[in-house]
Amino acid sequence: MEKFIKERKYLFWSTANYQKLSPAVVLEQTLNYGDFSDVQELFKLLGIKRAAAIFQRQLEHHRSNYSPRVANYFKLYFRRYAS
């Protein structure tokens, strides 16, 4: 995960402390701001089922940092590919 973050610092502009980023933060930033290859590489690292579980937990909170478009797309994506 550390290598993934270091190679994609443009996704994590809000911090300089890359070592303390949780998988949930990495997933959120990648889904919101990454391109398709970033997302696919992260799914290889986390596993699609784990990514889907993290995503679902994030959506259950009253405040989500996902845009409506991103949230809808990945709800459908995970329903199809992580079920």
Please write the tens of the pLDDT for every residue from 5-49.
Answer: 989 989 988 776 778 899 999 999 999 999 999 999 999 999 999
Q: How confident is the model at residue 61 (pLDDT cuts 50, 70, 90)?
A: confident
Q: What's the whole-number mean pLDDT along residues 57-70?
A: 91
Q: Give 50's contacts (C-beta < 8 A, 6+ positions apart).
A: 23
pTM metric for this prediction: 0.91
d(CA 51, CA 48): 5
**In the chain, where does DSSP find H-type helix?**
2-7, 23-33, 36-46, 48-60, 68-81
